[in-house]
Amino acid sequence: MPVNPDTLIADLQAPGAGAFALLRRLDPRTGVPGPVEVLRGPVTTVEHLADVPLPTGAPGAAAARDALALVPFRQLRERGFEVHDDGTPLQVLRVDSAVDLPLEEALRLLPDAEVPLRDVAPDLDDAAYADVVRRIVADEIAQGTGANFVIRRDVDGVIDGFSPTTALSLFRRLLVAEHGAYWTFVVHVPGEDGSSRTLVGASPEVHVRMARGQVVMNPISGTYRYPAGGPDADGLVEFLTDPKEVEELFMVVDEELKMMCSVGDLGGVVHGPYLREMANLAHTEFELRGQSTLDARDVLRQTMFAATVTGSPLQSACRVIKRFEPSGRGYYAGALALLGRDGEGAQTLDSPILIRTADIRTGGAGEGGGAGDGAARVRVSVGATLVRGSSPEGEVAETHAKSAGVLRALGALPPLPPRPGATGPDGAPARRVPLAADPRIATLLASRRDRLASFWLEPQAPAQGAPLGEALVVDAEDTFTSMLVHLLASAGLRARVLRYDDPGLDAALDAHTGLVLLGPGPGDPEDASDPRIARLQALAAQLAQAALAGGNPLLGVCLGHQLLAGRLGLPLRRKDAPHQGTQLAVDLFGTRATVGFYNSFTARADDAALQRLAAQGVQVATGPADEVVAVRGPGVAGIQFHPESVLTLDGPALLRSLVEPLLRG
């Protein structure tokens, strides 16, 4: 039955109207936002992503939007990661009605009611958040726990008389005030007890999307905060040449490539970089693409959640988030996920990250619950990506810029004043010229691509020549190993990955014939009080002894290299300044190579050590301050850098130069 647009929005505000979602999504084919989609249907709660109910599409059927899932951050428990379990449900709106409205018609129909907001306050003041930044850099990054971390801060408030009309009004404000968002949305879920949960936001970032088996991810990092007079090319040039901002983006590209390689049959291809321009700020971004035969729900599960809202390595970042954040994240840093089918019955998935979002709850009691007397609790959460080059003041300012759009929609901040050139002579909005159109900006963006490995800039080709056998990769809790698998394949090695704590690892090592790769991971290589490090130390001793005695050859990467170097008698030290996401040119046994480092610890060599190892047939390549870049000898090799990183320009050739001599014996 045809839907009357004039009554559609009014029906959503009627008592007992049920759950609804309004979405305005960016069309990835055109880069232009589409219509406002109005979705309605019953809501169910499920335990796992695999439980999200989906019908089976048949070839020739009409394209469909079947289900909208609200995926909380606590869903990471499915991957065995540590998180605060705050009970936030995985809810699914099963779509039984979908209507598309042109933007102009939606704006005419949507209410523009007052939003009576009060008692607005941050959970951490600026000084307290700045202290968190200092502690993360000094106590986590410098100690090797990881390369970067995202720690949130919240702004809480109360909305009196909150209703679906209020929710729709907030959505309308974001449609008008924000631009450049990937999704602008409102999702309203009433409870049976009179409570409700509403999410209203404008997220700039794709979590993951999938169509016809193509998977796309969209790492966004680096934030240019517009000055009071509006964005200008000179300020953007300064931002684009800031080493901290450049390295921050490269790090999240590496981290999301790990995920892409775990779901993509042939790895992933990096596209970009691009500039994402929004109302209050601009971000730099890349796009990753790959092909997958996995179910869309499995793709969603394997990509929980982006480094841009967690950190890297992901499992270690989750532990740090749990230590530094006193409570659960709710839906913040989780995802919305619209699952459906195309006209031929193939699965589709479109999912933004839940950032720049107001989470509003009515009814109930306790943290984040209702405020009583018909009022609602509202929370806006935001985080900054903290890296070794972070300044506390800069990260504090970044959190303010990121939250500004939603807080303005709520009325917690005054509207932006008209900027010069914002209107034409007739008072109508002037056509905005994209900042990226400036030739200097385009050149700077293109120069970032020149710093990336060509291996990841084009589809990975199958290895040429005879296969070199099989490799067993030991994952030390860093899924860089998923990228290593594809790099090894380019060298003709079929690779199998097992975690360091896999119950079957010892038996697999006993049965294996071929290369063993001891992989990267976080942590202090000498901290035997850490059960993970103690296990890895024992493995390194076992594998090195076997390799030196003529058994399976051993290659150590990053942490694996440090553990091997320790077994060879080289002292290990914490670096004065960590190399996390750092690209350097090094001398690798007489060959100049540009490579990517992620390390807070290093092995060091003096003349006596070099002479002793040379007598054993072991060569050592050193860099600045006598840091050991690589070692190689009978049956063993180790590299401090990551050949699989996008920052290592010729990773396949470097890997082959190390692996082939090991396999020849």
Q: What is the pLDDT of residue 383?
A: 94
Q: Per-residue pLDDT for 313 more than 70?
A: yes
Q: Render pLDDT for 502-512 as a digit per residue (tens, 0 to 9).
A: 999 999 999 99
Q: Per-residue pLDDT for 13 more than 60?
A: yes
Q: What is the pLDDT of residue 367?
A: 39
Q: What is the pLDDT of residue 314?
A: 94
Q: Render pLDDT for 598-653 as a digit per residue (tens, 0 to 9).
A: 999 999 998 888 899 999 999 999 998 889 999 999 999 999 999 999 999 999 99
Q: Per-residue pLDDT for 536 more than 60?
A: yes
The three-state secondary structure class of 581 is strand
Q: What is the pLDDT of residue 419?
A: 52
The values of phi and psi at residue 363, to 5°, are 75, 160
Which pLDDT band holds residue 432 (cuts at 50, 70, 90)? Answer: low
Which pLDDT band holds residue 3 (cuts at 50, 70, 90)? Answer: confident
Give the integer Cα–Cα distance in Å for 565 and 581: 22
Q: Average pLDDT of the chain? A: 90
**Whole-Å CA distances, 156 to 8, 124, 268, 381, 645:** 32, 11, 39, 9, 39
Which pLDDT band holds residue 412 (cuts at 50, 70, 90)? Answer: confident
Are 615 and 590 contacting, i.e. CB atoms less than 8 angstroms apart?
A: no
Query: Could you say which of 188, 400, 486, 642 is catalytic?
Result: 642
Q: Render pLDDT for 489-501 as a digit per residue (tens, 0 to 9).
A: 988 899 999 999 9
229-234-238-240 Cα dihedral, nearest 10 degrees = 100
What percent of the chain has pLDDT above 90?
74
Q: Per-residue pLDDT for 51 more than 50?
A: yes
Q: Per-residue pLDDT for 44 more than 50?
A: yes
Query: Could you say which of 207, 395, 486, 558 is catalytic?
Result: 558
Q: Render pLDDT for 350-372 as a digit per residue (tens, 0 to 9).
A: 999 999 999 999 985 443 444 54
- ∠ Cα 547 552 558 (to 5°): 70
- Report the pLDDT averaged over residues 383-389: 91
For residue 354, what is the DSSP state? -
Longest dimension (CA), the chain: 86
Give the integer Cα–Cα distance in Å for 663 and 636: 10
Residue 558 half-sphere exposure, CB side, CA atoms within 13 Å?
A: 32
Are 341 and 348 contacting, i.e. CB atoms less than 8 angstroms apart?
A: yes
Q: Is the peptide bond before 305 cis (omega within 30 degrees of 0)?
A: yes
Q: Per-residue pLDDT for 193 more than 90?
A: no
- Report the pLDDT averaged over residues 542-568: 96
Specify the range with the lowest mean pLDDT, choosing from 170-179, 291-300, 358-367. Answer: 358-367
What percent of the chain has pLDDT above 70?
93
To the query of whether residue 261 is one of the catalytic residues in this protein, the response is no
SS in 3 state form for 93-110? EECCEEEEECHHHHHHHC
Q: Per-residue pLDDT for 528 more than 50?
A: yes
Q: What is the pLDDT of residue 423?
A: 44
Query: Could you say which of 205, 247, 248, 644 is catalytic?
Result: 644
Q: What is the pLDDT of residue 470?
A: 92
- Report the pLDDT averaged over residues 456-482: 86
Domains, the chain, in order of start with CATH, read 5-414+435-449 (3.60.120.10), 454-664 (3.40.50.880)
Specify the range with the lowest mean pLDDT, choosing from 464-478, 583-597, 639-653. Answer: 464-478
CB within 8 Å of 521: residues ≥ 6 apart: 313, 475, 476, 477, 478, 500, 532, 536, 558, 559, 560
Q: What is the pLDDT of residue 435?
A: 80
